[in-house]
Chains A and B, each alone.
Chain A
Amino acid sequence: MKMTVENDPDKCVYCGGCVGVCPVQAITLKDTKIIIDKNKCINCGACVSICPVGAMKLKK
């Protein structure tokens, strides 16, 4: 099954770190929301590694 990246809005402090490390520009930050374009996302996990608060998770 394909893995997907998900953002947990309860943990997220919308610092935009995930946006900066995404190699395919699949993530945008709008106000206090992280929006992930699932079509662009390659599930590389860069955003998961960098997130200071553990708000990005790879899910099955």
Chain B
Amino acid sequence: MTDYDIIIVGAGPAGLCAAIETGKEAKVLVLDRKQEIGCPKRCAEGLSLRWFKKMNLKPKKEWAVQEIKGAELYTPNGKSIKMKAKKAEGYVLERKIFEKELAIEAVKKGAKILMKNQVIGAEKKDNEIELIVEENKEKKKITCKIVIACDGVDSLTAKMLGLNTKLDLKETDSGYQYEMTGITGYDENLLHLFFGTDIAPRGYIWIFPKRKGTANVGIGIGAYEKETAKYYLDKWIKTQDGLKNGSIIEVNAGVIPVGGFLEKMQADNLLVAGDAGHMVDPIHGGGIGIAMEGGRLAGKHAIKAIKENKFSEKDLSEYTKEWYKLSGNDLKRRLKGRHLLEKLTNDDFNYLVDSINVEEALRIGNGTLTKKDKTILFTKKLITRPKLLKLMIEYARD
């Protein structure tokens, strides 16, 4: 007899959704090393409406703090394109409150949550898992049938159980962010995205408003840049009239797995979800929605495993297969898009923004270029820019 059926490591969006999915049907424990759910955030807190629908979530004003109707993109030469819809396309969240709501829901379903409990060892014994958990310097052993590792980019649980979830530096971004208040000049109904190899090499700077005058102002850059993410962000903020006199009310940092997708997200008696499984959109680096979907799916497969009493790596491979079908293959296409974006110089970027329309840009980003798009792009719009044309043809070739 094990202590629990399922132990979920990590009480973030993935872990809590896994707990909500499984709490009714199994004996579930959620462990988290931190002292507070949802804090410190490593996130810009944006969640698009599509995920609200997929996860059957209704935005509540307590945590869906700012309605977002679109985005404004700023090019290296200072131009901007605004895409604004009439209705909400998503929200910026207050994750501390949002995740506590998820935690309350998980406990209502029957799960138990323990904070400041860090997994320091994990071992497979017969057909069960024994975790060594440390709380206030005391170690205890807890057993279960299956572990769902949702312990973020710094996940060690999966590694302890034989699944290599190491981040590939080439496919990892370095992120830094301030939550700022007292800022002016940015429409709070839009996300603001700033591009340019000088200000944010291999990435972008964002302003995600949380209310009028308050926003997450952050940057994501490649791991191999000369200076740190903090350096680039501080430097840029000084150049922005609406920001430079603002106050910083929170400092956040984190790394973002932007495309080193795991071939396998399971091992014997183990599933991984969320950042630990590199479930992040490779273009914008967002991961709340995908993590929630991944956690829910992992929960579904954990219940199936328990019912059938089948926990082998091979039996659990159905989870990875279903995840790729649901989201993974789409993200792989978007990874190709990011690789294309990375090769663009400031000049290319300015040229593209001038010559293509918003819909074409979106289809390039989503990897859904039509034959007609390709013809127009290749024979009319890019013909005078051979390097860009070559890049685009490479990208569009399947």
A interface list, Cβ under 8 A from B = 13-17, 19-23, 25, 28-31, 46, 49-54
Contact = CB atoms under 8 A, between A and B. Distances in A.
A49 B156 contact: no
A21 B167 contact: yes
B37 interface: no
B332 interface: no
7 contacts: A15-B40, A15-B42, A15-B253, A20-B257, A21-B166, A49-B169, A49-B223
Given A15-B42, A46-B169, A29 B154 contact: yes
B224 A15 contact: no
A15 to B, nearest CB: 4
B255 interface: yes
A30 B34 CA distance: 9
Contacts of A17: 153-154, 174, 253-255
A34 to B, nearest CB: 10
Q: Which of A15, A22, A54 has the most CB of B within 10 A?
A: A15
Contacts of A20: 152-155, 166-167, 172, 255, 257
B291 interface: no
Contact of A15 (B155, B166, B255): B255
Nearest to A53: B230
Interface in B57-80: none
A26 to B, nearest CB: 11
A53 B251 CA distance: 11
Contacts of B167: 20-21, 50
Contacts, number: 81
B118 interface: yes
Contact of B251 (A13, A16, A49, A54): A13
Given A13-B251, A50-B169, A52-B174, 6 more contacts: A15-B254, A15-B255, A16-B154, A17-B254, A21-B167, A54-B231
Nearest to A12: B253
B374 to A, nearest CB: 37
A52 B166 contact: no
Contacts of B224: 49
A25 to B, nearest CB: 6
Contact of B230 (A19, A22, A49, A52): A52
B204 interface: no
Contact of B175 (A14, A19, A21, A52): A52
Interface of B: 33, 35, 40, 42, 118, 152-156, 159, 166-167, 169, 172, 174-176, 223-224, 228-231, 251-255, 257
Contacts of B159: 25
B253 A53 contact: yes
A19 B154 contact: yes
Q: Which of A13, A20, A22, A51 has the most CB of B within 10 A?
A: A20
Contacts of B223: 21, 49-50
Nearest to B34: A31
Contacts of A13: 40, 251-253
Contacts of B254: 15-17, 52
Given A16-B152, A17-B255, A52 B176 contact: yes
A51 B225 CA distance: 11
Contact of A16 (B153, B176, B230, B257): B153
A53 B169 contact: no
A52 B253 contact: yes
A52 B156 contact: no
B153 A51 contact: no
Contact of A53 (B42, B153, B228, B257): B228
A2 to B, nearest CB: 22
Nearest to B233: A52
Contacts of B231: 54
Contacts of B174: 17, 50-52
A12 B46 CA distance: 25
Nearest to B256: A17
Contacts of A23: 166
B223 to A, nearest CB: 5
A54 to B, nearest CB: 4
Contacts of A22: 166
